[in-house]
């Protein structure tokens, strides 16, 4: 029988949806990815638009002059255009682009949260499924006892009250099992409803994260936040170069004027003299203060997050020890206490009520283990979200 069950389990896991496939097919994640990409296109187009020079200006006028001995129409046409010198325009675009890239990187942190949310749901389902499998095994064993006692009752070996108590426990176990199955089905639908997979798909559960004493986060902690911070810092440094120009632009104009009998041609150049204004000085000061503020804010955020991580790691350690102790208690109960209770009951040394209570105690211990394991994974993926892993 064991080999048949093992073959069925292996058959069911072949072709089942893995955790990686769940993450790849996440509907919300794919939509967010597309939205971030479109926002990136929009920000780049806006950047190019904002850093363009003013368009070519065309001016035309017509007037009439009346004077002693001569009168007539006067006509004027002119063109003017601003040109940014050197690399001013490129620096402006780079400064804005770096800020935009930082914003888009920060948006990706939401994708990390979606990933970890799905991972948690997947693990919660797998725990529910494992609990159902254990409950089914316990129920099958109890059915064997029930059939045995029914035969014993027919041969007047046990009292009616004893059989009724066993039947009551059988019905209670069946109700508990059905409730567990409904909960398992609901948790499975919750996972699959957030993906493009059909609700009838099987989930693998062969790739769940192990429950370990110490979680090692590695070097990828706060990777997105650090990348965004470096982009913003580099943007302020680019801005300092942008406002370090004595002459940023010139305006060239040309025109033709017809004054009665006279043709007049003009060519002009306008040069803004930055040293005559303190605008660039104030802009540089603002960027220097912004750079300092970014550094301080980044340090504060990292300090807060590191504290949260230590709190969560401490909680995980406590959860691990509690799970370890619970598993030890269950194993001891299964291998030591239950066999003794069964032997005592078989030899009529203890009542059926005592035996049923011992069985109920086992189910309680297993339920407590399930809840502790669920709490562990909830904390684990909260830790990964804060760590941006």
How many angstroms separate the CA atoms of 381 and 36, rounded? 23
Burial of 127 (0-12, 13-18, 19+ CB in 10 A): buried
Residue 363 forms part of a structural domain: yes
Residue 265 forms part of a structural domain: no
Give the tokens for residue 362: 């086992």
**Residues in CB range of 283: below 8 A, 6 or more apart:** 239, 243
Q: 3-state SS string over 184-246?
A: HHHHHHHHHCCECCCCCCCECCCCCCCCCCCCCCCCCCCHHHHHHHHHHHHHHHHHHHHCCCC
Residue 64 forms part of a structural domain: no
Tell which wins on pLDDT, 210 or 58. Answer: 210
Residue 73 forms part of a structural domain: no
CATH for 44: 1.20.1600.10
Residue 72 forms part of a structural domain: no
pLDDT value at residue 291: 93
pLDDT value at residue 10: 44
How many angstroms separate the CA atoms of 330 and 209, rounded? 22
Mean pLDDT confidence for 135-157: 89
pLDDT value at residue 183: 95
Residue 253 forms part of a structural domain: no
At 153-174, the pLDDT tens digits run 898 888 899 889 999 989 999 9
Q: What is the span of the domain harbouring residue 96?
A: 2-56+87-246+279-387
Residue 5 binned pLDDT confidence (cut-offs 50, 70, 90): very low
Scanning the structure block, which residue is given the tokens 């693990």? 123
Residue 271 forms part of a structural domain: no
Residue 383 forms part of a structural domain: yes
At 30-89, the pLDDT tens digits run 999 999 999 999 999 999 998 888 888 888 888 777 766 677 777 888 888 888 888 888
pLDDT value at residue 174: 93
pLDDT at residue 230 above 90? yes
Q: What is the pTM of this model?
A: 0.85
Q: Report the number of distinct structural domains present in the chain.
A: 1
């Amino acid at each position: 029988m064991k080999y048949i069950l093992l073959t069925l389990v292996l058959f069911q896991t072949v072709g089942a949806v893995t955790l990686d496939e769940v993450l790849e097919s996440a509907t919300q994640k794919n939509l967010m990815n597309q939205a971030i990409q479109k926002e990136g296109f929009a920000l780049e187009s806006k950047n190019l638009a904002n850093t363009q020079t003013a368009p070519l200006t065309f001016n035309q006028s017509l007037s009439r002059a009346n004077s002693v001995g001569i009168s007539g129409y006067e006509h004027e046409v002119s063109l003017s255009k601003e040109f940014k010198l050197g690399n001013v325009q490129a620096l402006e675009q780079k400064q804005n682009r770096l800020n935009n890239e930082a914003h888009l990187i920060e948006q990706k942190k939401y994708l990390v949260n979606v990933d970890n949310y799905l991972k948690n749901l997947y693990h919660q389902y797998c725990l529910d499924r494992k609990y159902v499998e254990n409950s089914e095994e316990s129920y099958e064993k109890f059915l064997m006892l029930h059939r045995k006692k029914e035969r014993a009752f027919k041969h007047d070996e046990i009292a009616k009250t004893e059989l009724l108590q066993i039947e009551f426990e059988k019905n209670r176990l069946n109700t508990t099992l059905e409730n567990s199955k409904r909960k398992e089905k609901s948790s499975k639908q919750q996972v699959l409803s957030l993906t493009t997979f059909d609700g009838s798909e099987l989930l693998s559960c062969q790739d769940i994260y192990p429950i370990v004493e110490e979680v090692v986060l590695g070097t990828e902690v706060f990777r997105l936040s650090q990348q965004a911070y470096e982009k913003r810092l580099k943007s302020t440094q680019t801005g300092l170069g942008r406002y370090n120009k004595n002459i940023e632009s010139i305006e060239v104009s040309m025109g033709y004027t017809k004054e009665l009998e006279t043709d007049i041609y003009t060519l002009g150049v306008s040069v803004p003299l930055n040293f005559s204004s303190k605008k660039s000085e104030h802009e540089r000061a603002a960027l220097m203060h912004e750079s300092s503020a970014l550094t301080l804010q980044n340090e504060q955020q990292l300090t807060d997050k590191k504290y949260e991580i230590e709190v969560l790691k401490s909680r995980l350690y406590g959860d691990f020890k509690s799970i370890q102790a619970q598993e030890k208690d269950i194993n001891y109960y299964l291998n030591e206490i239950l066999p003794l209770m069964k032997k005592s009951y078989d030899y009529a040394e203890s009542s059926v009520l005592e035996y049923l209570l011992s069985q109920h105690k086992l189910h309680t211990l297993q339920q407590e283990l399930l809840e502790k394991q669920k709490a562990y994974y909830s904390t684990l993926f909260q830790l990964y979200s804060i760590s941006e892993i």
